[in-house]
């Protein structure tokens, strides 16, 4: 069976890395090729290096401040050339990016089967997250195999009339996290301690990540002003904010947060440094989907800086709280977690609803059966 993986961002690479490794164990059954669109160039390359993934096709599509129509047109044309060259039996896509949707679309145009990893996530609002919500809905209606992370994701697909070939398998992000932590723990810890030497790692650390397109402008300024107030009112706490490369993120972050002694603005972290820091953190403020899934496996409470999330299982299971981009709610919820030991304990000890680290094996076992 000839299988083409298509992805373009760091989160996709992280979540597909353990699946690529698992498929690669069966070279007599599967011929694997990797196509990266490289929507995220530097951040993507870091993950490929860490997990030792070699791209057979690299479209290198990243442009400064590129528009969605621009990247869509260029990506679709290039992907069609790749598919024509390799002629796969199956295309595997993950999540909700443009690479996901366009990878599925080009497969549909050429009547190739599509497997969608992390299928069935829905926020219920087509503009939040934007454009990811529509990307995943359209991908679901093209895909032939749907590997849903949770029972709720399966029910979401059912509501849209998708009933065949749905498999609840967990999320590969937990496979990647556990593998990443193992790699880090086998290595030299001093590398990470030296990298973060300017930060007091012995006290409470709040990790912040934020980059959502729908938050650009006033909502993002609210996030930054909330972090500023938290820093001022809690001088004993260190806030670490790896700042996304997008200028819509960098400008307000540096204007509002530069100069605060206990706020550390870093360049984007590669995957191993990020999960090492996650593991050291006391709590996490984020708008990232992947971190909402990963943090519970590290027993870290999460405040989700979005008004809607497609990962409602975390809210229901008490591993995360939805705080939106309201300055007051972000500040109040953070302060409560810093001071209320009972609340912190209940969140940090809640079980992770997103997986057990065996998702990749379950997916490959299905296709092993199909290849026989």
Q: Is 80 a catalytic residue?
A: no
Q: Is 63 a catalytic residue?
A: no
From the candidates 12, 118, 270, 310, give the one annotated as an active-site residue.
118
Element containing residue 85 per DSSP (H, E): helix 68-86
CB atoms within 10 A of CB 183: 14
From the candidates 12, 22, 132, 221, give the one annotated as an active-site residue.
132
Q: Is 244 a catalytic residue?
A: yes
Q: 3-class SS at 11? A: helix
Q: Is 193 a catalytic residue?
A: no
From the candidates 58, 213, 229, 356, give the one annotated as an active-site residue.
213
From the candidates 10, 40, 154, 244, give the one annotated as an active-site residue.
244
Q: Is 118 a catalytic residue?
A: yes
Query: In terms of Cα–Cα distance, which of 116, 110, 115, 57 is closest to 90?
Result: 115
Distances from the Cα of 33 to the Cα of 179, 290, 307, angstroms: 22, 24, 38
How far is Cα 256 from Cα 141, in angstroms, rounded to an integer?
43
Query: In terms of Cα–Cα distance, which of 361, 38, 355 is closest to 177?
Result: 355
Sheet holding 238-242, edge to edge: 263-266, 238-242, 205-209, 283-286, 302-304, 320-322
From the candidates 12, 22, 96, 175, give the one annotated as an active-site residue.
96
How far is Cα 93 from Cα 16, in angstroms, rounded to an integer?
9
Q: Is 200 exposed, middle or buried (0-12, 13-18, 19+ CB in 10 A)?
A: middle
How far is Cα 247 from Cα 66, in angstroms, rounded to an integer?
12
Q: Is 96 a catalytic residue?
A: yes
DSSP assignment letter at 118: T
Tell me if 8 sits within 8 A of 44, measured CB to CB: yes
Q: What are phi and psi of 56, to 5 degrees?
A: -80, -30
Indicate the Cα dihedral angle 75, 81, 87, 93, nearest 10°: -10
From the candidates 40, 116, 136, 211, give the one annotated as an active-site residue.
211
Place of tokens 């749905």: 166
- Spell out the residues 6+ positions from residue 208 whose beta carbon is closer than 8 angstroms to its own: 227, 239, 240, 241, 284, 285, 286
Q: Where in the sequence numbering do the catalytic residues fall?
A: 96, 118, 132, 211, 213, 244
């Amino acid at each position: 069976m000839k299988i083409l993986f298509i992805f373009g961002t760091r989160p996709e690479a992280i979540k597909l890395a353990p699946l690529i490794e698992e498929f690669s164990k069966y070279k007599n059954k599967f011929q694997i090729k990797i196509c990266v669109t490289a929507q995220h160039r530097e951040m993507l390359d870091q993950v490929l290096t860490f997990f030792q993934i070699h791209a057979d096709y690299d479209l290198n599509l990243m442009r400064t401040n590129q528009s969605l129509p621009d990247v869509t047109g260029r990506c679709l044309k290039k992907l069609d050339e790749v598919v024509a060259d390799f002629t796969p039996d199956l295309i595997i896509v993950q999540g909700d990016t443009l690479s996901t949707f366009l990878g599925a679309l080009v497969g549909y145009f050429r009547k190739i089967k599509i497997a969608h990893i992390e299928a069935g996530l829905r926020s219920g609002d087509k503009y939040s997250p934007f454009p990811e919500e529509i990307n995943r809905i359209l991908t679901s209606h093209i895909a032939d195999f749907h590997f849903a992370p949770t029972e709720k994701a399966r029910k979401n697909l059912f509501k849209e009339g998708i009933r065949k070939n749905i498999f609840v398998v967990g999320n590969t992000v937990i496979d990647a996290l556990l593998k990443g932590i193992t790699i880090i723990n086998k290595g030299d810890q001093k590398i990470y301690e030296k990298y973060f030497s300017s930060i007091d790692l012995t006290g409470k650390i709040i990790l912040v990540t934020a980059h959502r397109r729908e938050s650009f402008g006033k909502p993002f300024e609210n996030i930054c002003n909330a972090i500023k107030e938290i820093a001022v009112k809690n001088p004993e706490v260190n806030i670490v904010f790896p700042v996304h490369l997008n200028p819509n993120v960098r400008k307000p972050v540096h204007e509002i947060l530069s100069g605060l002694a206990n706020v550390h603005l870093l360049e984007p972290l590669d995957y191993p440094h990020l999960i090492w820091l996650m593991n050291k953190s006391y709590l996490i403020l984020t708008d990232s989907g992947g971190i909402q899934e990963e943090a519970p496996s590290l027993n870290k409470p999460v405040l989700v800086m979005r008004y809607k999330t497609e990962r409602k299982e975390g809210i229901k299971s008490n591993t995360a709280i939805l705080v939106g981009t309201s300055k007051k709610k972000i500040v109040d919820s953070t302060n409560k977690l810093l001071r209320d030991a009972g609340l912190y304990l209940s969140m940090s000890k809640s079980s992770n609803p997103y997986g057990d680290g065996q998702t990749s094996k379950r997916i490959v076992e299905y296709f092993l059966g199909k290849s026989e």
